Amino acid sequence: MSQGIRARQNGFERASKQQFRIGIKRIWRCVLVIGRRADITTSGAPLVYVLADRPNPTRYDIAAPGVVTSAPVQRQIIADLRRTRPKAVVRWTDPVTAAPEPNGSGRSSGVRLLDAYLAAAYRPAARYGAWVVLVPRS
């Protein structure tokens, strides 16, 4: 079992609230939580900001399909990340975050600017189940 993982229920792995909060507070002052892919989103995890007691460096707390999957918004998120330089980004890699749905949120926008930026600017530092902590490359 991965460090920080306490239980597996309904297909989701969970770290205890205390372990998650302690881990996050040790490494960063703000956090961006993003799903598995930037071009498609069917779920988000805005509660992480509350549990971590850390602000989002962008104005997009909710991963709304058609909003955060658009090129203008991804450019704004990238600009916010460059401006605030968060020491970590949390990527929720559970397949549910990009699961096919019979509506617009289940279709790719084709925009992967944020994915490309994160791959170039951040690297994986830790994994807690489906949660990957990315830290700056330099």
For residue 132, pLDDT beyond 80: yes
Beta sheet of 122-128, edge-to-edge order: 32-34, 89-92, 131-136, 122-128
Helix axes 113-121, 71-84, angle to 10 degrees: 20
- C-alpha torsion sign, points 24, 59, 120, 106: positive
Tokens of 74: 């991804």
For residue 133, pLDDT beyond 80: yes
**Residues 6 or more apart in contact with residue 120 via CB below 8 angstroms:** 137
- Cβ atoms of 126 and 2 closer than 8 Å: no
- Cβ atoms of 128 and 3 closer than 8 Å: yes
pLDDT at 92 (0 to 100): 84
For residue 113, pLDDT beyond 70: yes
Number of domains in the chain: 1
How far apart CA 99 and CA 41 sit, in angstroms, is 8
Stretch 21-28: mean pLDDT, rounded?
Answer: 57
Tokens of 6: 């306490």
pLDDT at 136 (0 to 100): 93
Better-scored residue on pLDDT, 134 or 45: 134
Lowest mean pLDDT among 29-43, 52-66, 93-107: 29-43
- Cβ atoms of 44 and 63 closer than 8 Å: yes
Stretch 31-48: mean pLDDT, rounded?
Answer: 70
How far are the Cα atoms of 18, 31, 91 from residue 55, in angstroms, in the given order? Answer: 18, 6, 16
For residue 69, pLDDT beyond 60: yes
* Residues spanned by the domain of 36: 5-136
Tell me how crowded residue 6 is: count the other CB atoms within 10 A of its CB: 14
Better-scored residue on pLDDT, 39 or 96: 96
pLDDT at 3 (0 to 100): 39
Tokens of 116: 């490309």
